[in-house]
A = this chain, B = another copy of it.
Amino acid sequence: MPGEFELIARYFTRASRTAALGVGDDCALIRQPDGLALAVTTDMLVESVHFFPEVDPESLGHKTLAVNLSDLAAMGAEPRWATLALSLPSIDDDWLAAFSRGLFALADQEGVELIGGDTTRGPLTLCMTLLGLSPPGLALRRDGACPGDDLWVSGATGEAALAVAHRRGTLALAPADLAVCARRLDWPQPRIALGKALRGVASSAIDISDGLVQDLGHICERSRVAAELHWASLPQTLAVRAAGDAGRAALLGGGDDYELLFAAAPDQRERIERIGLACNMPLARIGRIVPAADVIETGRVRLLDPDGATIDIASGGFDHFE
């Protein structure tokens, strides 16, 4: 069985392109271009919590980076450098080869360099920290939404949660729907280009990892506002429609979507539509920001039917501790 150091060398060491010093020393050294802010995010993925034990390791490598990229996308930052810590129950060469293949394919696509990490024995756990660059003052923060702003979402939500339900055996998707939903769950596509295009356009943004309603709640809380979601405007894919009530719950609260939810002033509508076309990304206007005083007592987010009546939101999103 190869040692820790050989393992690092075999699967995770590449020549540095932009780092002054990459994998192999006590620290990596990077030079941030003068005048830019550094955006920093970290995510930990744990077996049986964030992914199934039988997950395809190539997709897991992809997803480990993708969920962090999604956080940078939600700030409008440009990804640059990553560190990866992994805890592995054993050394499985095939597994590691596939994992690093999935990781580096996405890293190459998005211009991310792996500059350091740590490997250890233990329950299968991945922890990545991702660094990106952001022009000062243009980061898409959660706390900038204003009453009157439109609410937008990229793509559509709910499919990843349906794939989880199918694999857990609580829902049976038709084969074609399962293929679509599984791809959403296993190979999420972070909206980096969209996030960068929304700099100076969106007043606030977040990526949807815990569920549309819950993540909208985070924007509201940080911005000290409330929000109305218009049910008829929410994008519903064929798989979500076909799943009925389960689909509706997944759309609102499923999580693992990695779409961008953002607020923007109404005078930005035309510009946002052009951005959607340029990024080849459907963008739907799904509601609006209202003053916090308008919030109903049970939460900051109100879901409205086409007649303006409130729909009860049963699912509050995915919280790892509830």
Interface residues of A (CB under 8 A from B): 1-5, 7, 20-21, 24-32, 34-35, 37-44, 46-50, 71-72, 74-75, 77, 81, 83-87, 91, 115-123, 125, 127, 129, 131-132, 134, 136, 139, 141-143, 205-207, 218, 222, 319-322
Closest to A142 in B: B25
With contact pairs A27-B72, A87-B125, A122-B125 given, residues A320 and B42 touching in the complex (Cβ less than 8 Å): no
The reply to whether A118 and B40 form a contact with Cβ atoms under 8 Å apart is no
The reply to whether B321 and A25 form a contact with Cβ atoms under 8 Å apart is no
Q: Residues of B contacting A207 with CB < 8 Å?
A: 26
Closest to A72 in B: B27
**CB pairs A–B below 8 angstroms (14 shown):** A26-B207, A27-B139, A29-B40, A29-B134, A30-B40, A40-B81, A41-B116, A42-B118, A44-B87, A44-B122, A46-B121, A47-B122, A49-B87, A127-B127
The reply to whether B49 and A26 form a contact with Cβ atoms under 8 Å apart is no
Distance, CA A127 to CA B83, complexed state (A): 11
From B74, B132, B320, contact of A120 by CB (8 A): B320
Task: Report the minimum CB–CB distance from A202 to chain B (whole Å).
Answer: 12
Task: State how many copies of this chain the complex holds.
Answer: 2
The reply to whether B40 and A7 form a contact with Cβ atoms under 8 Å apart is no
- Ranked nearest first, the 9 interchain pairs of A and B with the lowest CB-CB distance are A46-B122, A127-B127, A44-B85, A129-B129, A26-B74, A27-B39, A42-B83, A27-B41, A123-B123
Q: Residues of B contacting A141 with CB < 8 Å?
A: 21, 25
Task: Report the minimum CB–CB distance from A179 to chain B (whole Å).
Answer: 28
The reply to whether A118 and B25 form a contact with Cβ atoms under 8 Å apart is no
The reply to whether A321 and B46 form a contact with Cβ atoms under 8 Å apart is no
With contact pairs A29-B134, A40-B83, A125-B44 given, residues A321 and B116 touching in the complex (Cβ less than 8 Å): no
The reply to whether A29 and B38 form a contact with Cβ atoms under 8 Å apart is yes
The reply to whether A27 and B321 form a contact with Cβ atoms under 8 Å apart is no
The reply to whether B37 and A31 form a contact with Cβ atoms under 8 Å apart is yes
Q: Residues of B contacting A47 with CB < 8 Å?
A: 122
The reply to whether B121 and A320 form a contact with Cβ atoms under 8 Å apart is yes
The reply to whether B321 and A21 form a contact with Cβ atoms under 8 Å apart is no
The reply to whether B127 and A44 form a contact with Cβ atoms under 8 Å apart is yes
Q: Residues of B contacting A322 with CB < 8 Å?
A: 1, 3-4
Task: Report the minimum CB–CB distance from A18 to chain B (whole Å).
Answer: 12
Q: Residues of B contacting A205 with CB < 8 Å?
A: 26
Give the interface centre of A40, A121, A142, A218 by most chain B CB atoms within 10 Å.
A40
Q: Residues of B contacting A143 with CB < 8 Å?
A: 25
